[in-house]
A and B are shown apart, each in its own frame.
Chain A
Amino acid sequence: MTQVVLFLIVFIALILVTGKYLYHIAEGKHTFADPVFDKVDKFIYRLCGIKKEEMSWKQYAMAMLATNAVMVFVGYLILRIQVMPVFNPNEIGNMEPTLSFNTIISFMTNTNLQHYAGESGLSYFSQMAVITFMMFTSAATGFAVAMAFIRGLAGKTKTFGNFYVDFTRITTRVLLPISIVVGLLLVSQGVPQNLSPNVTVQTIEGRYQDIAMGPVASMEIIKHLGTNGGGFFGANSSAPFENPNVLTNMIEMMSMMLMPGSCVIAFGHMVRSRRKKTVVGGKEKTVWFGSEARPIFAVMAAIFIIGLGICWSAESKGNPILANIGLSQSMGSMEGKEDRFGVTQSALFTTVTTAFTTGSVDNMHDTLTPLGGAVPMMNMMLNVVFGGKGVGLMNMLVYAILAVFICGLMVGRTPEYLGKKIEGREMKLTALAIIIHPFIILFFAALALSTTGGLAGITNPGYHGLSQVVYEYASSAANNGSGFEGLADNSYFWNITTGLAMFFGRYLAMIIQLAIVGSLIMKQPVSESIGTLRTDTTTFAISLFMVVLIIAALTFFPAMVLGPVAEHLALFN
């Protein structure tokens, strides 16, 4: 327990610093590293002909889509011809079309759902030029859009900034430097970073085993830092060469929490200065935590802690059936977990990787106890608990707009958020943004359960089978990428449906969210008085929590009851 508490304290301390740094980057403010990075950025701008002009929300969205589309086509091509002898010592063959489609969408959308195993399915060239490359760019895309979204909400300007500039700045100033430093830290702990072919060794038992090699560390760090989650190896972060010990386990968790957490802090700073600066004793007070970010952070943290508590206690209790046949459950349910991590580190990793929608795993989610498995599922269904890079924050802000609408009416005024009135048009878009997510999950799950193609993937009939299906689509729609890996998902049906789920889950949501602020930004700000609903208070935080719970969580209540809850009750009956 102490390690968890300490871990979370370090997390908060870290994001306060990086959050401010992110804020400075987003607002183009001065940072300590400017002398170096300004030159790098200028070179990139010149090279690519980026003119740094301000964009409207439509231009911004178009730039984002076009950039992503180009990368998708190039990436798809590489996967289809990866058999070529470039960085391919293990002589991996070309990838099948639907799997390539699924994989490329998966990585471009920051999902990293993997219907292949890295060591047998991808060449080193693909791992570097497609997978690792997209881990940087998809993270930068998400972050850039989130920053534009917040700029729109803050409403200090009438434009959203420039996508290419945001994209470049976040890559050069955040992702690359941290990746290099922490990547080397992982190497020091034993994560490989080479281009050698797999090594075949004779084990002490006298048998032969292939030891996988490759540029692992460079991918491992951005996989977490960019909340991507796709493993170099099929076993993801439970493989010792990806995640050798508890220290790397902690580093990896911290890496995935860092940026989503910082986004919330940066949000607080970005919307803050529209009000008067707090001046104490003639000196401007240093603000670490913008007041508007507090309820957002509080609700995210509350759901996270509740989830962690449920997952941890469910896993600690162990499996009664295994106990009955004489297997000690004193260490908790160890099925599918690594001995070197145990229940606590595994439960924490599971909660973190789904709350922060990374999708890497250091234990098999399929073998979690029913309730323990319900927690990651719920995190992805909500998709607002910090969430992936910037995206979770945007989703939560959409819920904040919804909460503001309901609460605003209750204080007898036209609802307003951050000084802008929420009216018919915004409500329409907000509602749409909220509908998409459950629609994708439930529609595809229903489709899979009523078609033979879908049913063929289910390996565990019964309640768990339902959980597998729902989990897979929740993971796709939330752009998480983890899986209940028991699902036999490398088939036409699953490759295509999850591909579509990831695609719409990512881009539809982003475009609608940009449209919301695009509409808000044009409005005249309204004045604030004590009659105005304040959105930085405890009451609002509780209201927001209830709105998320009732609207987002209850939507999945029937699915949860038929899946994990029924399974749990059957297990403990």
Chain B
Amino acid sequence: MSRKTKQRFITDDILKNAVKDSFVKLNPSYMMKNPVMFVVEIGFFVTLILTFFPGLFGDQGTNLRLYDGIVSLILLVTLLFANFAEAVAEGRGKAQAQSLKHAKKDMQARIIKADGTDEIESAGKLKKGDIVLVKAGEIIPNDGEIIEGIASVDESAITGESAPVVKENGGDFSSVTGGTEVISDWLKIRITANSGESFLDKMIALVEGAARKKTPNEIALNTLLVSLTIIFLIVIVSLYPMAVYSGVQLQISTLIALIVCLIPTTIGGLLSAIGIAGMDRVTRFNVIAMSGKAVEACGDVDTMILDKTGTITYGNRMAAKFITVGNIPQQELIDSAVVSSLSDNTPEGKSIITLGYGLGGKKQTVSSDMEFIDFTAQTRMSGVNMPDGRKIRKGAYDVICRYVQENGGNIPTDLEEKVNDVAKLGGTPLVVSVDNRVYGVIYLKDTIKPGLVKRFARLRAVGIKTIMCTGDNPLTAATIAQEAGVDSFIAACKPEDKIKAIKEEQSKGKVVAMTGDGTNDAPALAQADVGIAMNSGTSAAKEAANMVDLDSDPTKILDVVEIGKQLLITRGSLTTFSIANDVAKYFAIIPAMFMVVIPQLKVINIMALATPYSAILSALLFNAIIIPCLIPLAMKGVKYEPQRAEKMLSHNMLIYGLGGIIAPFIGIKVIDMVIAPLLSMVGL
């Protein structure tokens, strides 16, 4: 489950199961779901019968039985290859589901009854609303809300992240997931899901592919493939009387070979594999997509609504500059700031020390006679009382001003201006005072996560607009927005503002994605077309979202969008490739069908294929072999490089369109050169 260890493309185990599955999937009632491959299967049965009764439809010729047998065999191989592709794609999910099921097995629950006594029951008997007690070392039996207690919980069974998380009642950390383990203390939990409907159950169903429904784009593409199949069936069926009229008695196997070559078996055989693999790629990012539709919708995203804190910035501020006021020397300010932060373990405090030393501040250590004053929400300042009696304080502008004035000091005239300068830059000003004198301002800067600027540029390249939401004032918001490179921002943002922004974008016909964690994000997550909830978030948020990020890393939405796009591109490219292949196949089979009776048609045999039989079989073989050749591409997805739609189209058209026309010419010719001598040996 862990994505920390780089997984191999397919393991031996998956491979073994996939081979077995490809035979199991030959069941016609299963094949019927894929009309293109079902036509191939019917062709296989007909040629199989012809192998035993070659004259059944009045075919004439020498070695008919052998020929029918070979065609039948190639068709079977084609079917197996297609099934194999699907089985391999499912394999990873199945293996994963297996380990998840393992986590679920044999879970016990200590149910607390109304009279206060408890009783051990099987977890399967739990109902919504039951209250359970989970002690250290026990597995949480089902999803729930903590009503009492505080404990650290190991969620690695779900997230793969081994560091435990602290969970307590109330707030954003009150939801727990079934299958995770309490490793210290105890929790009293109210169960919020019935047995079989838990997050773990959903996850198993999803990775197993059981809950897989065809996505809208898949349905539309399937329609196209079916109609192409119908068109080619019309072509072939009408070809028979035309050939008879022209004095050519076509063999049934040859007609079936032509049908199979022309219908889009390449994409037909790989289509479900592409979809499953796409979901799997999302899962490997530790994001659980509730449906394939959600992943696909990601490709269509026009606008992303992103929280500033946590998504764009780290949320903790780093000291970036010391600004003195009045005639205080810089060195004094630095030293005072550093010493007051010595016992401050917050990232802000540490960053002040780092910056101070970096600017040549005096090395100082904590001594027992220093009296540190911690930051509290009431005082909104912290500091230190030095052994020599100096009282160093740092805190918000208004608080320090009041503190200094109360102690009879004056506010330097340039302080307000400097504080405002910092705010204008998007920073947080921290004012430092010693006794009743203001020394200066520490510029605390909100740092943008590394690499984000580049990623936003990538998004812009494919036309996705980013909107940053922040509770900050407009001035600060504008600065951060500009620095990060987001397209616009909503300052002083309340949860309802997010919904408003989403609706506004949607009314312009845009597809909106957002991430969220808290309960108050739930309505917005539900409103957005793509909503990704953090696993650390409340169960309301997770319920409303269509994806859950197990690592609780909000920036992952960017990856998911790219996967969604890649999924669509892969489908489109392989469809194009499959259709483009038909050109060469026509040129291989049509002359082969008629050359014997109408010798002048050899001009169209531009590949100079050896004999009619070898031409038909080469085309059919190429058609079969191309499927396994493209499995890796279907699994990994085609290379995705963010660029203008125009460029992307010409790039992919060139590779899969033009390549799709040329590749089979070469492939069929090569196969022909190999099999022609073999065929002549067996008398075909």
Chain B contacts with A in 437-470, Cβ cutoff 8 A? 461-465
Min Cβ gap A431→B in Å is 3
Contact A526 B510 (CB under 8 A): yes
Q: How far is the CA of A435 from the CA of B583 in the complex (A)?
A: 19
- The one of A443, A465, A532, A570 in contact with B234, judged by C-beta atoms closer than 8 angstroms, is A443
A463 cross-chain contacts in B, Cβ below 8 A: 246
Min Cβ gap B451→A in Å is 21
Encode A96-124 as 1/0 by CB contact (under 8 A) with B: 00000000000000000000000000000
**How many residues belonging to B are interface residues under a CB distance threshold of 8 Å?**
72
- The one of A409, A434, A551 in contact with B217, judged by C-beta atoms closer than 8 angstroms, is A409
Contact B649 A540 (CB under 8 A): yes
Nearest residue in A to B505 (C-beta to C-beta)? A527
Chain A contacts with B in 387-427, Cβ cutoff 8 A? 402, 405-415, 419, 422-424, 426-427
Q: Flag whether A328 is at the interface (Cβ < 8 A).
A: no
Contact B462 A412 (CB under 8 A): yes
Stretch at the interface among A145-153, A192-200, A226-234, A554-562: A554-562
Contact A524 B509 (CB under 8 A): yes
Q: Flag whether B475 is at the interface (Cβ < 8 A).
A: no
* In the complex with contacts A424-B216, A531-B645, A449-B245 CB distance below 8 A: yes
Q: Flag whether A466 is at the interface (Cβ < 8 A).
A: yes
Q: Flag whether B53 is at the interface (Cβ < 8 A).
A: no
Q: How far is the CA of A363 from the CA of B316 in the complex (A)?
A: 85
A408 cross-chain contacts in B, Cβ below 8 A: 572
Chief secondary structure at chain A's binding surface: helix
Contact B462 A558 (CB under 8 A): no
B566 cross-chain contacts in A, Cβ below 8 A: 412
Q: How far is the CA of A348 from the CA of B510 in the complex (A)?
A: 49
A546 cross-chain contacts in B, Cβ below 8 A: 580, 657
A525 cross-chain contacts in B, Cβ below 8 A: 509
Contact B302 A555 (CB under 8 A): no
Q: Flag whether B192 is at the interface (Cβ < 8 A).
A: no
- The one of B239, B300, B509 in contact with A558, judged by C-beta atoms closer than 8 angstroms, is B239
Nearest residue in B to A439 (C-beta to C-beta)? B234
B227 cross-chain contacts in A, Cβ below 8 A: 431-432, 434-435
Of the candidates B242, B510, B569, B648, the one having the most CB atoms from chain A within 10 angstroms of its own CB is: B242
Chain B contacts with A in 539-582, Cβ cutoff 8 A? 564-566, 568-569, 571-573, 575-576, 579-580, 582
Q: How far is the CA of A406 from the CA of B511 in the complex (A)?
A: 21
B648 cross-chain contacts in A, Cβ below 8 A: 410-412
Min Cβ gap B249→A in Å is 14
Contact B246 A405 (CB under 8 A): no
A533 cross-chain contacts in B, Cβ below 8 A: 645-646, 649
Q: Flag whether B219 is at the interface (Cβ < 8 A).
A: yes
Q: How far is the CA of A450 from the CA of B245 in the complex (A)?
A: 8
Q: Flag whether A566 is at the interface (Cβ < 8 A).
A: yes
Contact A566 B601 (CB under 8 A): yes
Q: Flag whether A324 is at the interface (Cβ < 8 A).
A: no
Contact A422 B220 (CB under 8 A): yes
Chain A contacts with B in 532-573, Cβ cutoff 8 A? 532-534, 537, 539-540, 542-543, 546, 550-551, 554-555, 557-559, 561-562, 565-566, 569-570, 573
Encode A249-272 as 1/0 by CB contact (under 8 A) with B: 000000000000000000000000
Encode B580-595 as 1/0 by CB contact (under 8 A) with A: 1011001000110010
B231 cross-chain contacts in A, Cβ below 8 A: 434-435, 438-439, 551, 555
Contact B568 A412 (CB under 8 A): yes
Q: How far is the CA of A419 from the CA of B509 in the complex (A)?
A: 9
Contact B586 A446 (CB under 8 A): no
Q: How far is the CA of A447 from the CA of B234 in the complex (A)?
A: 12
- The one of A402, A409, A439, A531 in contact with B463, judged by C-beta atoms closer than 8 angstroms, is A531
Q: Flag whether A428 is at the interface (Cβ < 8 A).
A: yes
Q: Flag whether A530 is at the interface (Cβ < 8 A).
A: yes
* In the complex with contacts A527-B509, A529-B463, A438-B235 CB distance below 8 A: yes
Contact A531 B600 (CB under 8 A): no
Contact B238 A446 (CB under 8 A): yes
Contact A406 B576 (CB under 8 A): yes
Q: How far is the CA of A209 from the CA of B239 in the complex (A)?
A: 47
Nearest residue in A to B593 (C-beta to C-beta)? A558
Q: How far is the CA of A561 from the CA of B603 in the complex (A)?
A: 11
Q: How far is the CA of A434 from the CA of B228 in the complex (A)?
A: 10
Min Cβ gap B349→A in Å is 44
Q: How far is the CA of A527 from the CA of B511 in the complex (A)?
A: 9
Contact A410 B234 (CB under 8 A): no
A529 cross-chain contacts in B, Cβ below 8 A: 302, 462-465
Contact B576 A410 (CB under 8 A): yes
- The one of B296, B603, B645 in contact with A532, judged by C-beta atoms closer than 8 angstroms, is B645
Q: Flag whether A445 is at the interface (Cβ < 8 A).
A: yes
Contact B224 A442 (CB under 8 A): no
Contact A570 B230 (CB under 8 A): no
Contact B649 A446 (CB under 8 A): no
Contact A557 B462 (CB under 8 A): no
* In the complex with contacts A405-B224, A410-B572, A566-B246, A530-B241 CB distance below 8 A: no
Min Cβ gap B445→A in Å is 32
Q: Flag whether B366 is at the interface (Cβ < 8 A).
A: no
Q: How far is the CA of A412 from the CA of B567 in the complex (A)?
A: 7
Nearest residue in A to B562 (C-beta to C-beta)? A412
Min Cβ gap A374→B in Å is 14
Contact A446 B241 (CB under 8 A): yes
Q: How far is the CA of A466 from the CA of B245 in the complex (A)?
A: 8
* In the complex with contacts A435-B231, A555-B231, A410-B649 CB distance below 8 A: yes
B296 cross-chain contacts in A, Cβ below 8 A: 414
Q: How far is the CA of A516 from the CA of B229 in the complex (A)?
A: 21
- The one of B226, B230, B649 in contact with A411, judged by C-beta atoms closer than 8 angstroms, is B649
* In the complex with contacts A409-B568, A532-B645, A566-B510 CB distance below 8 A: no
Contact A530 B246 (CB under 8 A): no
Q: How far is the CA of A297 from the CA of B243 in the complex (A)?
A: 37
Min Cβ gap B181→A in Å is 40
Nearest residue in A to B459 (C-beta to C-beta)? A531
Min Cβ gap B274→A in Å is 11
Chain B contacts with A in 126-170, Cβ cutoff 8 A? none
Q: Flag whether B237 is at the interface (Cβ < 8 A).
A: yes
Q: Flag whether B653 is at the interface (Cβ < 8 A).
A: yes
A410 cross-chain contacts in B, Cβ below 8 A: 569, 572-573, 576, 648-649, 652-653, 656
Contact A562 B243 (CB under 8 A): yes
B649 cross-chain contacts in A, Cβ below 8 A: 407, 410-411, 533, 539-540, 543
- The one of A423, A466, A526 in contact with B242, judged by C-beta atoms closer than 8 angstroms, is A466
A551 cross-chain contacts in B, Cβ below 8 A: 228, 231, 579
Q: Flag whether B221 is at the interface (Cβ < 8 A).
A: yes
Contact B586 A531 (CB under 8 A): no
Q: How far is the CA of A566 from the CA of B246 in the complex (A)?
A: 10
Chain B contacts with A in 373-401, Cβ cutoff 8 A? none
Min Cβ gap B136→A in Å is 48
Min Cβ gap B512→A in Å is 11
Q: Flag whether B629 is at the interface (Cβ < 8 A).
A: no
A565 cross-chain contacts in B, Cβ below 8 A: 601, 604
Encode B54-77 as 1/0 by CB contact (under 8 A) with A: 000000000000000000000000
Nearest residue in B to A547 (C-beta to C-beta)? B579
Encode B283-326 as 1/0 by CB contact (under 8 A) with A: 00000000000001001101000000000000000000000000
**Would you list the 4 A-B pairs with minimal beta carbon distance, nearest first?**
A409-B572, A529-B463, A531-B463, A412-B565
16 residue pairs of the A-B complex, CB under 8 angstroms, read A406-B575, A412-B462, A412-B572, A414-B299, A423-B220, A424-B216, A443-B238, A446-B242, A449-B242, A466-B242, A466-B246, A529-B463, A530-B645, A531-B644, A558-B239, A559-B242
Q: A402-B224, A411-B572, A527-B510 are in contact. List 14 more A-B contacts (CB 8 A).
A: A406-B224, A407-B649, A414-B299, A415-B220, A423-B216, A424-B220, A442-B234, A443-B234, A466-B242, A533-B646, A550-B580, A554-B583, A558-B586, A561-B590
Question: Which of A's residues lie within 8 Å of B, judged by CB?
Answer: 402, 405-415, 419, 422-424, 426-428, 431-432, 434-435, 438-439, 442-443, 445-447, 449-450, 455, 463, 465-466, 524-527, 529-534, 537, 539-540, 542-543, 546, 550-551, 554-555, 557-559, 561-562, 565-566, 569-570, 573
